[in-house]
Amino acid sequence: MTPLLEVDDLRLTVGGRDPQGQELLHGVSFTVGAGEAVGIVGESGSGKTLTIRAVAALHPPGARIDGDIRLDGRSVPAMSPRELMRMRRDDVGMVFQDPHAAINPVHRIGDFLTETYRKDGPEQRRVAAARALELLHQVRIDDPARILGCYPHELSGGMLQRVMIAAALLRGPRLLLADEPTTALDVTTQAEVAALITDLRRESGTSLIFITHDIELVGALCDRILVMYKGRIVEELTPDRLHGGKIAHPYTEALLACRPDITRRRHRLPAVPAGAFEEGWAAQ
């Protein structure tokens, strides 16, 4: 059986001063099976976000894509604008980092949730409204009927991120792309939101790509972990190898060493120096 998503030697180049352009992703390849959860960790600028945006063809305008991305065997870069719109609407859901920035402040929550049904008939819209209400229940929002009439600024970050998750799942996507969905939230809310994403996607059998800086979190949520560094996937791990497993790449090792640990007393947490593991992993 072919996997749901195949990313095959993905290269992304943006125009720079260099006439050749600047390559930001250097041949990223991975697959996500149906119902599977894959985590991507790595430092800022390692290409995590670029990778999943390219999956939904939301890479920056003017960027060139080489290699292939196939969703259900269909090439995303080869899709027409209409096919692309349909794919984004029906097959892929996205959750972003800062819900207050990612949701338009001038529309009510109810309008936001059912927005993708605006072009459908009134019957469809009623169904959508009912489904929105039900999903708000599922993301554990109290008094969802009242929330539908609220504006985004009237909700806390955690609440609004639940709304975002509900919106992403409303059309029953096959793949959920979560781009640091817990980073902007406080610690307790982080855990709740992460648990919510996992529960809901398991129930519906939706595949997940989860991006984060938090390697422990990803270990708890995902079946596989990809470590990205400087536009490459440098390591693929299973959660059990996070603790005492064999680590192949020195960056992963350094990353794991940076985790705080309550059983050890240290004066300072070690940090991974920027660019420490350049070409050929020479620094180690």
Partner 1 sequence: MAIVEHSLPRSARRQWAAVLVAGAGRLAQMALTLLAASFLIFVALQRAPGNPVDIMLGNKAGDAEAVRRLNAQYHFDQPLLVQYGHWITGLLHGDLGTSFIFREDVSSLIAARIPTTALLVAYGGLLVLVLGFVTGLVSARAGRTVDTGISVLLSVALATPTYVIAIVLITVFSLYLNWFPVFGSGDGLLGRLHHLTLPAVTLALSSSAAIARVTRAAVKDEERRDHVTTALARGLDTPTVLRRHVIRNALLPITTITGIVAAGLIAGTVIVENAFGLDGVGSLLVQAITRKDYAVVQSTSILVITAFLVVNALVDLLYGVIDPRTRDGGTR
Q: Which residues bind partner 1 (CB under 8 A)?
A: 56, 58, 85-90, 92, 94, 96, 98, 101-108, 110-111, 114-116, 118-119, 125, 129, 132-133, 145-146, 148-149, 151, 153-154, 167
Residue with tokens 């709740």: 192
Q: Are 51 and 40 in contact (CB under 8 A)?
A: yes
Shortest Cβ 222–partner 1 spacing (Å)? 21
Comparison of 179 and 235: residue with beta carbon closer to partner 1: 179
Shortest Cβ 16–partner 1 spacing (Å)? 18
Shortest Cβ 147–partner 1 spacing (Å)? 9
Comparison of 100 and 241: residue with beta carbon closer to partner 1: 100
Q: Are 206 and 35 in contact (CB under 8 A)?
A: yes
Shortest Cβ 173–partner 1 spacing (Å)? 10
What contacts 24+ positions apart, CB below 8 Å, involve 275-283?
Answer: 275/230, 276/251, 277/229, 277/230, 277/249, 277/250, 277/251, 278/230, 281/249, 281/250, 281/251, 283/250
Comparison of 110 and 239: residue with beta carbon closer to partner 1: 110
Shortest Cβ 159–partner 1 spacing (Å)? 12
For residue 191, which amino acid is it?
A
Comparison of 61 and 244: residue with beta carbon closer to partner 1: 61
Q: Do the strands 232-237 and 207-212 form a parallel or antiparallel pair, or are they unpaired? A: unpaired
Instruction: Give the CA angle between residues 220, 225, 229 to the nearest 5°.
Output: 130
Cβ-based neighbours of 222, under 8 Å, separated by 6 or more: 37, 38, 39, 208, 210, 239
Q: Is 51 helix (H, G, I), strand (E, B) or coil?
A: helix
Q: Are 4 and 72 in contact (CB under 8 A)?
A: yes
Comparison of 114 and 190: residue with beta carbon closer to partner 1: 114
Cα-based distances in Å from 18 to 22, 111, 283? 7, 45, 27
Shortest Cβ 94–partner 1 spacing (Å)? 4
Comparison of 133 and 234: residue with beta carbon closer to partner 1: 133
Comparison of 86 and 259: residue with beta carbon closer to partner 1: 86
